[in-house]
Structure 1
Amino acid sequence: MSFINKPILIFILFLSCFSVKVKAGSMIEKSFSHINNISVQLPDTSLIVLPNDDFYLTSMQMAKDTISDFSLYKLDEFTRRKYGQTHFKYYIMEEVDFGNSIKSYLIFEYYDSEMACWLVNYTPGYKLIDCREVYYDNAEGFHWINSVIDKSKRTIRIEEGSIYEDPEIKIIKLHIDEKGKFVEEKES
């Protein structure tokens, strides 16, 4: 069973409906006009739940502009641009505060039939420290990634699935070390 579908997360998402924040912004694509909410968080929690396409499409609506300075954010080093795929648009969804001097961003990668999101750590001068794909979905549905990020614990729980793998779903637990690197936590 998908960890996003566990009863506790459903309950958290249900409770969070009572404190929804909606930011004003211009529409990026007319086809997304049916989406009317954004990231849902409980008060006094540090969880960021990255559950589905609506979260990303809504966040994209709220973004003022696409990223135009690919070199500043080093997009050619970790996104699909690295493989010559230049048809994607990129948006800063949010700056994630882990309570340290590292600059961390959720960077959204969008194309009509494919979406991804990267959690990227930089030095204050934008030197790339580390990055991790924390969301992925495509129209075919053969491969997907969902994540829960806990800002206070500096941890990420990634659910990665593929219809070509056995088992179909793999859980990856990471923490961010003091240097901003993603470190996989081994099962004991």
Structure 2
Amino acid sequence: MSDISTCVTEVREAFAKGLTKPSQWRKSQLKALDRLLVENEQAITGALRDDLGKHPSEAYTTEISIVRGEISHTLSHLGRWLSPKPVKPSIAVLPANAYTILEPLGVALIIAPWNYPVQLLLGPLVGAIAAGNSVILKPSELAPRTSTLIATLVPRYLDTRAIRVVEGAVEETTALLEEKFDH
């Protein structure tokens, strides 16, 4: 599975170059993810109906609206979360000032289960983007229409240098799990 290895390497390189670190990049990706959900609501609810038999109102309530709520909450708090936090310095370094500055981990792997294939794939993506990580998304092969739709939409809306979708089943998941991820 050299394609998977290449994909992970490219996403890791984007992270190493600092692409995902600026708060403006994070905010723009979160807003783009929200647009993905809004502009494709009917397609998403249709895929969930076909895969799981979910009624459109159930699909919206249990999948789309939850992720949109996470995006909204994250966008409203991200600036505060990313600001340096003053801490009391050790007496040995006084009169210095000390701060805790949160840093991204690296590359996150998100594997979605079949029962909530949108919420449990894109919900964790919100946190990964907010934290400044690059991401590999693995949708559930047991929700094939939803998986294909996500794999089609993500590159249209999100920065593929740092966020990629890998479709497949056991073989692809096994290959992904053989790669090194930071989270």
- TM-score, scaled to structure 2: 0.27
Structure (1 or 2) with the greater helix fraction? 2
- TM-score, scaled to structure 1: 0.26
Higher RCO (CA-CA < 8 Å; seq separation 6+):
2
